[in-house]
Structure 1
Amino acid sequence: MSIREVISVAGVGAGSFYEYFSSKETLAAICIHLRIKEIAAAMRASLMKSSGAPLPERVDALLAAQTEAPLLEAEQWSALFLLERRVSRIEAFRKLYAEFVQMWSELLATGPGWPDGAPIHEAAFAAHSIAYGLVSQALITRAVDIDPVALQRVLRNAVHGYLSLQAPHAYRLYRFDV
Protein backbone atom coordinates (compact mmCIF):
# COMPACT_ATOMS: atom_id res chain seq x y z
CA MET A 1 0.00 0.00 0.00
CA SER A 2 1.35 3.41 -0.90
CA ILE A 3 1.18 6.57 1.20
CA ARG A 4 -1.07 8.03 -1.50
CA GLU A 5 -3.55 5.17 -0.88
CA VAL A 6 -3.31 5.67 2.90
CA ILE A 7 -4.06 9.39 2.72
CA SER A 8 -6.87 8.78 0.24
CA VAL A 9 -8.56 6.31 2.62
CA ALA A 10 -7.93 8.62 5.58
CA GLY A 11 -9.21 11.66 3.69
CA VAL A 12 -6.21 13.83 4.53
CA GLY A 13 -3.52 15.53 2.52
CA ALA A 14 0.09 14.45 2.22
CA GLY A 15 1.20 17.42 4.32
CA SER A 16 -1.09 16.41 7.16
CA PHE A 17 0.18 12.84 7.00
CA TYR A 18 3.83 13.89 7.12
CA GLU A 19 3.14 16.37 9.92
CA TYR A 20 2.38 13.38 12.20
CA PHE A 21 4.17 10.42 10.61
CA SER A 22 7.52 10.11 8.90
CA SER A 23 6.57 6.93 7.03
CA LYS A 24 3.99 4.16 6.62
CA GLU A 25 6.06 2.10 9.03
CA THR A 26 5.75 4.81 11.71
CA LEU A 27 1.98 4.91 11.19
CA ALA A 28 1.81 1.10 11.43
CA ALA A 29 3.91 1.02 14.61
CA ILE A 30 1.67 3.63 16.26
CA CYS A 31 -1.51 1.76 15.23
CA ILE A 32 -0.13 -1.49 16.66
CA HIS A 33 0.94 0.32 19.83
CA LEU A 34 -2.59 1.71 20.28
CA ARG A 35 -4.18 -1.74 19.83
CA ILE A 36 -1.80 -3.21 22.40
CA LYS A 37 -2.57 -0.33 24.78
CA GLU A 38 -6.26 -1.34 24.58
CA ILE A 39 -5.28 -4.80 25.81
CA ALA A 40 -3.24 -3.23 28.60
CA ALA A 41 -6.27 -1.18 29.66
CA ALA A 42 -8.43 -4.32 29.74
CA MET A 43 -5.77 -6.02 31.85
CA ARG A 44 -5.64 -3.08 34.29
CA ALA A 45 -9.43 -3.22 34.66
CA SER A 46 -9.18 -6.96 35.26
CA LEU A 47 -6.60 -6.43 38.00
CA MET A 48 -8.89 -3.98 39.80
CA LYS A 49 -12.01 -6.12 39.42
CA SER A 50 -10.43 -9.35 40.67
CA SER A 51 -8.12 -7.92 43.35
CA GLY A 52 -9.45 -9.90 46.32
CA ALA A 53 -10.08 -13.18 44.52
CA PRO A 54 -7.96 -16.31 44.97
CA LEU A 55 -4.76 -16.38 42.90
CA PRO A 56 -6.03 -18.86 40.26
CA GLU A 57 -9.13 -16.71 39.63
CA ARG A 58 -7.04 -13.55 39.29
CA VAL A 59 -4.76 -15.36 36.86
CA ASP A 60 -7.73 -16.52 34.77
CA ALA A 61 -9.14 -12.99 34.68
CA LEU A 62 -5.83 -11.49 33.57
CA LEU A 63 -5.31 -14.20 30.93
CA ALA A 64 -8.80 -13.56 29.56
CA ALA A 65 -8.17 -9.82 29.37
CA GLN A 66 -4.80 -10.35 27.72
CA THR A 67 -5.99 -12.81 25.08
CA GLU A 68 -9.60 -11.89 24.32
CA ALA A 69 -8.95 -9.41 21.49
CA PRO A 70 -6.26 -11.47 19.70
CA LEU A 71 -8.34 -14.64 19.85
CA LEU A 72 -11.55 -12.95 18.69
CA GLU A 73 -9.76 -11.36 15.73
CA ALA A 74 -7.17 -14.05 15.02
CA GLU A 75 -6.41 -13.16 11.40
CA GLN A 76 -6.01 -9.45 12.16
CA TRP A 77 -3.78 -10.11 15.15
CA SER A 78 -1.72 -12.61 13.21
CA ALA A 79 -0.95 -9.84 10.72
CA LEU A 80 -0.34 -7.35 13.53
CA PHE A 81 2.14 -9.64 15.31
CA LEU A 82 4.04 -10.17 12.04
CA LEU A 83 4.00 -6.47 11.21
CA GLU A 84 5.05 -5.55 14.74
CA ARG A 85 8.28 -7.49 14.27
CA ARG A 86 9.09 -5.48 11.16
CA VAL A 87 8.14 -1.94 12.19
CA SER A 88 8.47 -1.61 15.97
CA ARG A 89 11.71 -0.41 17.45
CA ILE A 90 13.17 -2.74 20.06
CA GLU A 91 12.98 0.00 22.71
CA ALA A 92 9.24 0.39 22.20
CA PHE A 93 8.75 -3.39 22.25
CA ARG A 94 10.75 -3.71 25.49
CA LYS A 95 8.80 -0.88 27.12
CA LEU A 96 5.43 -2.49 26.34
CA TYR A 97 6.69 -5.91 27.38
CA ALA A 98 7.85 -4.46 30.71
CA GLU A 99 4.41 -2.87 31.20
CA PHE A 100 2.73 -6.26 30.76
CA VAL A 101 5.23 -7.95 33.10
CA GLN A 102 4.52 -5.20 35.65
CA MET A 103 0.80 -6.01 35.54
CA TRP A 104 1.59 -9.68 36.18
CA SER A 105 3.83 -8.57 39.07
CA GLU A 106 0.95 -6.53 40.51
CA LEU A 107 -1.36 -9.53 40.22
CA LEU A 108 1.06 -11.72 42.16
CA ALA A 109 2.00 -9.11 44.76
CA THR A 110 -1.32 -7.53 45.64
CA GLY A 111 -3.77 -10.33 46.24
CA PRO A 112 -3.98 -13.42 48.38
CA GLY A 113 -2.03 -16.56 47.61
CA TRP A 114 1.49 -15.53 46.70
CA PRO A 115 4.02 -16.91 49.21
CA ASP A 116 6.06 -14.46 51.26
CA GLY A 117 9.55 -14.16 49.88
CA ALA A 118 8.80 -15.92 46.59
CA PRO A 119 10.31 -14.09 43.59
CA ILE A 120 7.57 -12.01 42.03
CA HIS A 121 9.25 -10.38 39.04
CA GLU A 122 10.74 -13.65 37.79
CA ALA A 123 7.36 -15.39 38.01
CA ALA A 124 5.59 -12.44 36.39
CA PHE A 125 8.08 -12.46 33.51
CA ALA A 126 7.55 -16.19 33.02
CA ALA A 127 3.73 -15.95 33.17
CA HIS A 128 3.62 -13.12 30.64
CA SER A 129 6.16 -14.83 28.39
CA ILE A 130 4.06 -18.00 28.37
CA ALA A 131 0.88 -16.08 27.56
CA TYR A 132 2.38 -13.78 24.94
CA GLY A 133 4.46 -16.54 23.37
CA LEU A 134 1.69 -19.10 23.07
CA VAL A 135 -0.84 -16.66 21.67
CA SER A 136 1.44 -14.74 19.30
CA GLN A 137 3.12 -17.87 17.93
CA ALA A 138 -0.16 -19.74 17.54
CA LEU A 139 -1.66 -16.82 15.64
CA ILE A 140 1.41 -16.30 13.46
CA THR A 141 1.69 -19.96 12.53
CA ARG A 142 -1.98 -20.95 12.19
CA ALA A 143 -4.37 -18.01 12.46
CA VAL A 144 -7.02 -19.33 10.09
CA ASP A 145 -7.57 -22.65 11.81
CA ILE A 146 -7.04 -21.63 15.42
CA ASP A 147 -9.36 -23.07 18.04
CA PRO A 148 -9.61 -20.32 20.66
CA VAL A 149 -11.12 -22.61 23.30
CA ALA A 150 -8.36 -25.20 22.88
CA LEU A 151 -5.67 -22.51 22.91
CA GLN A 152 -7.15 -20.98 26.07
CA ARG A 153 -7.07 -24.41 27.71
CA VAL A 154 -3.41 -24.95 26.79
CA LEU A 155 -2.59 -21.42 27.94
CA ARG A 156 -4.36 -21.84 31.29
CA ASN A 157 -2.67 -25.19 31.87
CA ALA A 158 0.76 -23.75 31.10
CA VAL A 159 0.45 -20.62 33.24
CA HIS A 160 -1.35 -22.30 36.13
CA GLY A 161 1.06 -25.23 35.99
CA TYR A 162 4.05 -22.91 36.30
CA LEU A 163 2.49 -20.74 39.01
CA SER A 164 1.32 -23.76 41.00
CA LEU A 165 4.98 -24.71 41.38
CA GLN A 166 5.78 -21.23 42.65
CA ALA A 167 2.74 -20.87 44.93
CA PRO A 168 1.59 -24.43 45.71
CA HIS A 169 -0.52 -23.43 48.71
CA ALA A 170 -2.67 -21.12 46.55
CA TYR A 171 -3.44 -24.03 44.23
CA ARG A 172 -3.64 -26.92 46.69
CA LEU A 173 -7.35 -26.72 47.43
CA TYR A 174 -8.48 -24.77 44.37
CA ARG A 175 -10.89 -26.58 42.02
CA PHE A 176 -10.78 -25.66 38.37
CA ASP A 177 -13.77 -25.75 36.07
CA VAL A 178 -12.84 -27.92 33.13
Structure 2
Amino acid sequence: MLVERSYRAVSIRQIVALAGVGTGSFYEYYSSKDELAAVCIRLRIRDIAATMLECIDAHQNEPLPQRVDALIHAQSAAPLADPEQWSALFVLERRISEMETYRDLYGEFVRMWTKALAGGPGWPDGAPTQDAAFAAHSMVYGLVTQALITRTVPPDADAIGRLLRTAVHGYLSVVAPLAYRLHRFA
Protein backbone atom coordinates (compact mmCIF):
# COMPACT_ATOMS: atom_id res chain seq x y z
CA MET A 1 0.00 0.00 0.00
CA LEU A 2 2.90 2.36 0.71
CA VAL A 3 4.02 2.14 -2.89
CA GLU A 4 0.61 3.34 -4.04
CA ARG A 5 0.00 6.09 -1.45
CA SER A 6 1.65 7.89 1.41
CA TYR A 7 1.73 6.46 4.92
CA ARG A 8 -0.62 9.20 6.14
CA ALA A 9 -3.13 8.27 3.45
CA VAL A 10 -3.26 4.61 4.52
CA SER A 11 -5.97 3.99 7.11
CA ILE A 12 -6.34 1.16 9.58
CA ARG A 13 -9.65 0.35 7.86
CA GLN A 14 -7.75 -0.13 4.54
CA ILE A 15 -5.09 -2.25 6.27
CA VAL A 16 -7.62 -4.62 7.86
CA ALA A 17 -9.58 -4.87 4.59
CA LEU A 18 -6.41 -5.86 2.73
CA ALA A 19 -5.44 -8.32 5.48
CA GLY A 20 -8.93 -9.79 5.58
CA VAL A 21 -9.35 -9.31 9.33
CA GLY A 22 -11.61 -7.21 11.48
CA THR A 23 -10.69 -3.96 13.17
CA GLY A 24 -11.04 -5.67 16.55
CA SER A 25 -8.47 -8.26 15.53
CA PHE A 26 -6.09 -5.50 14.51
CA TYR A 27 -6.36 -3.82 17.91
CA GLU A 28 -5.91 -7.16 19.65
CA TYR A 29 -2.33 -7.21 18.34
CA TYR A 30 -1.44 -3.57 17.66
CA SER A 31 -2.30 -0.37 19.44
CA SER A 32 -1.78 1.83 16.38
CA LYS A 33 -0.79 1.98 12.74
CA ASP A 34 2.69 3.13 13.84
CA GLU A 35 3.13 0.01 15.97
CA LEU A 36 2.19 -2.22 13.03
CA ALA A 37 4.57 -0.28 10.78
CA ALA A 38 7.41 -0.68 13.29
CA VAL A 39 6.84 -4.44 13.42
CA CYS A 40 6.78 -4.67 9.62
CA ILE A 41 10.02 -2.73 9.35
CA ARG A 42 11.73 -4.89 11.98
CA LEU A 43 10.61 -8.09 10.25
CA ARG A 44 12.02 -6.96 6.90
CA ILE A 45 15.29 -5.82 8.45
CA ARG A 46 15.53 -9.07 10.46
CA ASP A 47 15.22 -11.00 7.18
CA ILE A 48 18.27 -9.16 5.86
CA ALA A 49 20.12 -9.83 9.14
CA ALA A 50 19.32 -13.55 8.88
CA THR A 51 20.58 -13.61 5.29
CA MET A 52 23.77 -11.87 6.40
CA LEU A 53 24.37 -14.35 9.24
CA GLU A 54 23.93 -17.28 6.82
CA CYS A 55 26.35 -15.57 4.45
CA ILE A 56 28.96 -15.07 7.18
CA ASP A 57 28.83 -18.76 8.09
CA ALA A 58 28.90 -19.91 4.46
CA HIS A 59 31.92 -17.76 3.51
CA GLN A 60 33.98 -17.71 6.71
CA ASN A 61 36.94 -19.58 5.22
CA GLU A 62 37.17 -17.55 2.03
CA PRO A 63 39.68 -14.74 1.50
CA LEU A 64 38.64 -11.35 2.89
CA PRO A 65 37.62 -9.78 -0.46
CA GLN A 66 35.27 -12.69 -1.26
CA ARG A 67 33.73 -12.56 2.24
CA VAL A 68 33.16 -8.84 1.80
CA ASP A 69 31.59 -9.29 -1.67
CA ALA A 70 29.24 -11.93 -0.32
CA LEU A 71 28.20 -9.78 2.65
CA ILE A 72 27.63 -6.69 0.49
CA HIS A 73 25.35 -8.79 -1.69
CA ALA A 74 23.54 -10.31 1.32
CA GLN A 75 22.89 -6.86 2.77
CA SER A 76 21.83 -5.12 -0.44
CA ALA A 77 20.11 -7.76 -2.58
CA ALA A 78 16.59 -7.54 -1.13
CA PRO A 79 16.28 -3.74 -1.22
CA LEU A 80 17.78 -3.51 -4.70
CA ALA A 81 15.51 -6.29 -6.00
CA ASP A 82 12.35 -4.46 -4.89
CA PRO A 83 13.29 -0.78 -4.88
CA GLU A 84 9.78 0.70 -4.71
CA GLN A 85 8.77 -1.23 -1.60
CA TRP A 86 12.10 -0.75 0.12
CA SER A 87 12.18 2.95 -0.69
CA ALA A 88 8.81 3.35 1.01
CA LEU A 89 10.02 1.23 3.91
CA PHE A 90 13.20 3.27 4.43
CA VAL A 91 11.23 6.53 4.36
CA LEU A 92 8.80 5.09 6.88
CA GLU A 93 11.67 3.81 9.03
CA ARG A 94 12.94 7.37 9.40
CA ARG A 95 9.48 8.57 10.39
CA ILE A 96 8.57 6.06 13.08
CA SER A 97 11.73 4.41 14.43
CA GLU A 98 12.78 5.50 17.88
CA MET A 99 16.44 6.46 18.20
CA GLU A 100 17.27 3.70 20.69
CA THR A 101 15.73 1.04 18.44
CA TYR A 102 17.55 2.43 15.42
CA ARG A 103 20.88 2.46 17.29
CA ASP A 104 20.40 -1.10 18.54
CA LEU A 105 19.65 -2.40 15.07
CA TYR A 106 22.53 -0.44 13.54
CA GLY A 107 24.81 -1.92 16.21
CA GLU A 108 23.62 -5.41 15.35
CA PHE A 109 24.62 -4.90 11.70
CA VAL A 110 28.01 -3.51 12.71
CA ARG A 111 28.57 -6.60 14.90
CA MET A 112 27.79 -8.82 11.91
CA TRP A 113 30.30 -6.93 9.79
CA THR A 114 32.84 -7.23 12.64
CA LYS A 115 32.31 -11.00 12.72
CA ALA A 116 32.65 -11.26 8.95
CA LEU A 117 35.82 -9.19 8.76
CA ALA A 118 37.71 -10.71 11.68
CA GLY A 119 36.20 -14.18 11.46
CA GLY A 120 38.24 -15.52 8.59
CA PRO A 121 41.58 -15.32 6.82
CA GLY A 122 43.15 -12.04 5.79
CA TRP A 123 42.19 -9.68 8.60
CA PRO A 124 45.42 -8.17 9.98
CA ASP A 125 46.24 -8.39 13.67
CA GLY A 126 45.70 -5.06 15.35
CA ALA A 127 43.57 -3.61 12.55
CA PRO A 128 40.60 -1.54 13.82
CA THR A 129 37.92 -4.16 13.24
CA GLN A 130 34.96 -2.34 14.80
CA ASP A 131 35.78 0.92 13.05
CA ALA A 132 36.13 -0.92 9.73
CA ALA A 133 32.87 -2.78 10.33
CA PHE A 134 31.10 0.47 11.16
CA ALA A 135 32.44 2.08 7.98
CA ALA A 136 31.56 -0.92 5.77
CA HIS A 137 28.01 -1.17 7.10
CA SER A 138 27.55 2.60 6.87
CA MET A 139 28.65 2.60 3.25
CA VAL A 140 26.34 -0.24 2.24
CA TYR A 141 23.34 0.96 4.24
CA GLY A 142 23.85 4.59 3.30
CA LEU A 143 24.41 4.06 -0.41
CA VAL A 144 21.48 1.66 -0.75
CA THR A 145 18.99 3.71 1.24
CA GLN A 146 19.96 6.98 -0.44
CA ALA A 147 19.90 5.43 -3.91
CA LEU A 148 16.37 4.21 -3.23
CA ILE A 149 15.02 7.27 -1.43
CA THR A 150 16.50 10.09 -3.48
CA ARG A 151 16.12 8.81 -7.02
CA THR A 152 12.87 9.17 -8.89
CA VAL A 153 13.72 6.19 -11.12
CA PRO A 154 14.67 2.88 -9.50
CA PRO A 155 18.47 2.53 -9.57
CA ASP A 156 20.29 -0.02 -11.66
CA ALA A 157 21.03 -2.79 -9.12
CA ASP A 158 24.22 -3.86 -10.92
CA ALA A 159 25.54 -0.29 -10.99
CA ILE A 160 24.79 0.17 -7.29
CA GLY A 161 26.48 -3.18 -6.59
CA ARG A 162 29.62 -1.99 -8.39
CA LEU A 163 29.53 1.28 -6.46
CA LEU A 164 29.15 -0.58 -3.15
CA ARG A 165 32.04 -2.94 -3.91
CA THR A 166 34.28 -0.07 -5.03
CA ALA A 167 33.57 1.95 -1.89
CA VAL A 168 33.87 -0.87 0.64
CA HIS A 169 36.84 -2.63 -0.98
CA GLY A 170 38.60 0.70 -1.51
CA TYR A 171 38.32 1.51 2.18
CA LEU A 172 39.22 -1.99 3.35
CA SER A 173 42.22 -2.19 1.03
CA VAL A 174 43.72 0.63 3.11
CA VAL A 175 42.85 -1.02 6.44
CA ALA A 176 43.88 -4.56 5.40
CA PRO A 177 46.28 -3.98 2.49
CA LEU A 178 47.94 -7.41 2.50
CA ALA A 179 44.59 -9.19 2.06
CA TYR A 180 43.98 -7.08 -1.03
CA ARG A 181 47.50 -7.29 -2.47
CA LEU A 182 47.18 -11.06 -2.48
CA HIS A 183 43.82 -10.95 -4.22
CA ARG A 184 43.17 -10.06 -7.83
CA PHE A 185 39.67 -8.93 -8.79
CA ALA A 186 38.18 -10.25 -11.99
**TM-score with structure 1 setting the length:** 0.96
Contact 1:75–1:144 (8 Å) recurs in 2: no
Post-superposition, which runs of at least 4 consecutive aligned residues in structure 1 deviate over 3 A? Answer: none
1:38 equivalent to 2:40? Answer: no
Q: What is the distance in 2 between the residues matched to 1:37 and 1:21?
A: 19
Deviations 1:4-33 (A, max 9, x none): 111122122222211211111111111011
**Residue equivalent to 2:7:** none
Q: What are the Cα deviations for residues 98-119 of structure 1, in whole angstroms up to 9, with x where unaligned? A: 1110000001111011110111
Q: 1:1-178 to 2 correspondence within 5 Å?
A: 1-142=10-151, 144-177=153-186
Q: State the alpha-carbon separation in 1 of the partners of residues 18 and 84 from structure 2.
A: 21
Please give the alpha-carbon distance, in whole angstroms, between the structure 2 residues aligned to 1:147 and 1:7: 34
Q: Is the 8 A contact 1:81 1:140 kept in 2?
A: yes
Cα displacement string for residues 119-138 of structure 1 (whole angstroms, at most 9, x for unaligned residues): 11111000000110000001
- Amino acid aligned to 1:73: D
RMSD of aligned C-alpha atoms?
A: 1.0
* Cα deviation, residue 74, structure 1: 0.8
Contact 1:78 1:143 in 2 (8 A): no
The SS at the match of 1:123 is: helix
Cα distance in 2 for residues equivalent to 1:22 and 1:61: 39
Q: In structure 2, the residue corresponding to 1:162 is in which secondary structure?
A: helix
1:69-110 Cα distance to aligned partner (Å, 9 max, x none)? 000001111111101101111111111111110000001111
More helix by share: 1
CA drift of 1:143 comes to 5.4
Matches of 1:22 and 1:57 in 2, distance apart? 45
Report the Cα distance in structure 1 between the residues aligned to 2:157 and 2:15, rounded to whole angstroms: 32
> Aligned with 1:176: secondary structure?
coil
Percent sequence identity is 63
Of the structure 1 ranges 101-110 and 138-147, higher mean CA displacement relative to structure 2 is found in 138-147
Amino acid at match of 1:22: S
Secondary structure of 2:122's counterpart equals coil
State the one-letter code of the partner of 2:117.
L
CA contact (8 A) 2:83 2:154 kept: no
CA contact (8 A) 1:47 1:107 kept: yes
- Residue-by-residue CA offset, 1:11-61 (whole Å, 9 max, x unaligned): 222222112111111111110110110000110000000010000000000
Q: What 5-or-longer segments of structure 1 have no aligned partner?
A: none
Task: State how far apart, in whole Å, the 1-side matches of 2:164 and 2:15 are.
Answer: 37
